[in-house]
Amino acid sequence: MREVEILAGETVVHHARLNRARSEIAARLNLPEKNALIGFSDPVDLSEIGDYAGVLRMTVVDPDCQRRTICESAPGLALGSVKLETEFVMHSFNERSVEEARFAGRKLVEAIRQRGEAVNVDLGCGFRKNGNLGIDVTSEGTQADLICSLGFEPLPLDDEVADTVFCRDFLEHIPKAYYSESEKRLRYPIIGLINEVWRILKPGGTFTSFTPCYPAPEVHQDPTHLSVWTLQSMQYFCGGYPIAQVYGVRTNFELLENRVDGFYLHAVLRKPKSG
């Protein structure tokens, strides 16, 4: 009998026999029809480990006791006092899922180019997409063409395919840092995201952002804002601060525009044609 486990770090916090048919997951795992049960319906109890910061991993245990991790949650904080309902609300981070997302992005880019248009990407597009390829964390209530856990997953596009990348009222919603329990280190989602912007931009391509700028009250008044930006912030991605490389910054943009526009930091960064 196949079983599934939920792990926090290396600790098994839930272990159950499969008791709920999920045909689409069974098909993805290439399970034979007789073993196509791949789920469980009882809640996950984290009370023994208390509050947990990191990711939860789902593992399949086969009849030979071999374990395979099939997906993991987005990084975050799980409260041990709150039981988690198990409906497989997890994000797959394996190489196959990343490649599948890239394939979908590749098809969209090909269609845009066949129309003779530049590839203009809007990150965190929401319901007012600016450009012809929107990426957001959900399709619900948005005009997103591609879904991605922005800041936590690679952007689902190939290298050097975008002519422009745009975002408005978005960067401030990405957390500055979190501690990865599995890697035993801090990770910086904003840095990872802008590294990804650099990767997908063509040489000569531009990244434009409108982000609430300190000291305007709009920076802090929205409780969903997780990072603060100033007129000096973009310099970290343009070689202005050598310490940025220690933090994991892999970009060297040219800063074309950097000014206060109302309560926004209006910045335009260009990827040099020389790379």
Residues 154 and 245 in one domain: yes
- Predicted pLDDT of residue 92: 40
- Predicted pLDDT of residue 127: 92
Residues 202 and 263 in one domain: yes
* Total tally of structural domains belonging to the chain: 2
Rg (C-alpha) for the chain, rounded Å, is 21
In a domain, 88, yes or no: no
Residues 260 and 203 in one domain: yes
Residues 145 and 58 in one domain: no
Q: Which residue has the higher pLDDT, 9 or 194?
A: 194
Residues 111 and 211 in one domain: yes
- Average of per-residue pLDDT across 200-217: 97
In the three-class reduction of DSSP (H, G, I as helix; E, B as strand; rest coil), residue 16 is classed as: strand
In a domain, 62, yes or no: yes
Residues 109 and 67 in one domain: no
Residues 236 and 150 in one domain: yes
CB atoms under 10 Å from CB of 246, counted, come to 8
Give me the domain span that covers residue 131. 95-270
Residues 119 and 225 in one domain: yes
CATH of the domain at 246: 3.40.50.150
Q: How confident is the model at residue 249 (pLDDT cuts 50, 70, 90)?
A: very high
- What letter represents residue 160's amino acid? E
pLDDT digits (tens, 9 = 90+) for 15-73: 776 655 456 555 665 655 655 554 555 667 777 777 777 777 777 777 777 777 766 67
- Predicted pLDDT of residue 211: 97
pLDDT at residue 227 greater than cutoff 70 = yes
pLDDT digits (tens, 9 = 90+) for 127-172: 999 999 999 988 888 999 998 889 988 999 999 999 999 999 999 9
In a domain, 185, yes or no: yes
Contact between residue 91 and residue 74 where contact means Cβ atoms under 8 Å apart: yes
Residues 128 and 241 in one domain: yes
In a domain, 83, yes or no: no
Residues 63 and 121 in one domain: no
Residues 12 and 115 in one domain: no
Q: How confident is the model at residue 91 (pLDDT cuts 50, 70, 90)?
A: very low
CA separation, residue 263 to residues 120, 152, 200, 210, 233 (Å): 25, 27, 29, 9, 15
pLDDT at residue 245 greater than cutoff 90 = yes
Largest CA distance in the chain: 63
Residues 44 and 170 in one domain: no
Q: How confident is the model at residue 89 (pLDDT cuts 50, 70, 90)?
A: very low
Sequence-distant (6+) residues with CB within 8 A of 36 are 21, 23, 26
Sequence-distant (6+) residues with CB within 8 A of 202 are 160, 161, 162, 163, 271
pLDDT digits (tens, 9 = 90+) for 160-188: 999 999 999 999 999 999 887 767 888 89
In a domain, 84, yes or no: no
Q: What is the pTM of this model?
A: 0.68
